[in-house]
Structure 1
Amino acid sequence: MTETALSDSDVLYDDEALLVVNKPAGLLSQADHTGDVDLVTAAKRWLRDARDAGSDPFVGLVHRLDRPASGVMVLARTSDAARDLSNQFQDRLVEKRYLAIVEGRMTGMGTCTDYIAKIDREPTLVGPDHPEGKRAILRWQTLAPGDSVSVVQVQLETGRPHQIRLQLSNEGHPILGDFRHGGSRELDGKNLALHQVLLRVEHPDTYRMMTWAVSPPASWNHVLSSDQAAAIRAAVQRR
């Protein structure tokens, strides 16, 4: 990982209001107790170096991806843009699509409805009567099944911590590399085969709908069949 953890190729779009990036797997969304480089800090460094944006440019985090996941993220470059984008996420006006490689042969499509609570700070599936349980809904569709792994597309209707990881594991198909939630096979030794492939938001200044789509990391390639790789390429192109 580079000093800034963001290269020019990671930046998908930038203007006075938005910075859209392809977050690398392994990069924190925001700073934590580890002191490791996080996306907000990396974005500030990129803006200083590439856009001469001053010593401390504003970067607002309005949504998150788990550290071992990758994919499209939008960052706000002004407080007004941060407020507008946060409202879009809160009101579920943002379209997000994810791709995952899961263990086993998963076919068809479906909807998962569960409840998730943080128990001792650990996201956990709980029953509907749990006092801290929050409803978690996602829709999934298998794009390319296989005998040992399958490629699945996911759209979230809610945004709970570790939601995709917990719910797919509960279906009997944990995400590759997710030993924390029932997985038994690794991807690259440290990250997950979970990638936010598409993000669609309304631009806070122009009010135009804007869409970005980006391919998963190259680390996925060694576990995919040619048909599965083709299905992923089609999913990236499908806007």
Structure 2
Amino acid sequence: MNILYEDDQIIVVEKPVGIESQSNRTFEPDMVSEVKKHINSLSPKKGEPYVGVIHRLDKPVGGILVFGKTKEAAGALSKQVSGHQMEKTYLAVICGKPVDNFGTYVDYLWKDGKNNISKIVDKGITDAKRAELSYRVLEELEGEEGPLCLVEIDLKTGRHHQIRVQFSGHGTPLLGDLKYNPAGPKVAGQRNVALCAWKLAFTHPGNKKKMEFTVKPQGTVFNKFGTVSEYQSMR
């Protein structure tokens, strides 16, 4: 487990691709369990360590997660999420090119829990939730089956499969997304959806300092874009 930061109130980690954010009642590993093991290995105590889930990433998506190590810290971080004060920035590779190089998508999503998918629906549909994100195209490559674009995404809301659903619904689905783009083009070595929660910024719940973390996106397709290397050199 790649730990980016830790103190007595919070822990910031990089979630690998293919790992659940929290337990889904199977025997597969998940980040909450791994963080608990880590905390217990440092200071064994009776009972299970507290790990407060602040936000989640889909199983095929890698990137940064922050957890609260106390209820107070978790509560303060959760308020930042609900108040849109936690900055969650993603990098994605999409199939095709948006009409505009930057913009905002506002849709209403309905979650089909039985089939574990979400759909863009009309605003008045029962249980439909507002979903908003902004994006900008950073770089374009010509792939064998059409253009591929590297986009940076600022997630304003945190809906189920939001980025994947919205980009698919707007005609530029994510590369490698078998759920929302099963017939899409393939890139050698790219086995998962080309999406990474690459940057996270928030205010520390204790000392109130602004904290910002970045990681390198996982997946061979990201290495084809020079912008990714430039971002890494700026860290």
TM-score tier after normalising by the smaller chain length: 0.7 to 0.9
Normalising by structure 1, what TM-score? 0.87
Q: 1:165 to 1:223 in 2, by over 3 A?
A: same
Q: Say yes or no: does 1:182 pair with 2:178.
A: no
Q: Deviation at 1:48?
A: 2.5
* Counterpart-to-counterpart distance in 1, 2:173 and 2:9: 37
1:104 Cα shift?
2.7
Task: Give the aligned partner of residue 129 of structure 2.
Answer: 134
Between the aligned partners of 2:113 and 2:74, the Cα distance in structure 1 is: 30
Q: What is the SS of the residue equivalent to 2:72?
A: helix
Taking the aligned partners of 2:222 and 2:68, their CA distance within structure 1 comes to: 35
**Who is 1:119 aligned against?**
112
* Structure 1: distance between partners of 2:44 and 2:192: 32
Structure 2 partner of 1:3: none
Structure 1 unaligned runs (5+)? Answer: 1-5
1:119 is displaced (CA, Å) by 2.8
C-alpha deviation, 1:238, in angstroms:
5.9
Give the AA of the match of 2:45. Answer: G
Q: Secondary structure at the match of 1:145?
A: strand
Q: Which runs of 5+ in 2 are unaligned?
A: none
Give 1:231's aligned residue: 227
> Which residue is 1:157 aligned to?
156
1:53/1:206 Cα in 2 relative to 1: closer, same or farther (>3 Å)? farther
Match of 1:31 in 2: 23
CA distance 1:82–1:133, change in 2 (3 Å): same
Mean Cα deviation higher: 130-139 or 120-129:
120-129
Amino acid at match of 2:171: G
Alpha-carbon RMSD:
2.0
How many positions carry a matched residue from both structures? 225
Identity over the aligned pairs, expressed in percent? 32
Please state whether the residue corresponding to 1:11 is helix, strand or coil.
Answer: strand
Structure-2 separation of matches of 1:25 and 1:186: 18
Hey, what does 2:86 align to over in structure 1?
Answer: 94
State the Cα distance separating 1:54 from its structure 2 match.
3.1
Q: How far apart are residue 34 of structure 1 and its match? A: 2.9
Q: Cα distance 1:31–1:224, how it changes in 2: closer, same or farther (>3 A)? A: same
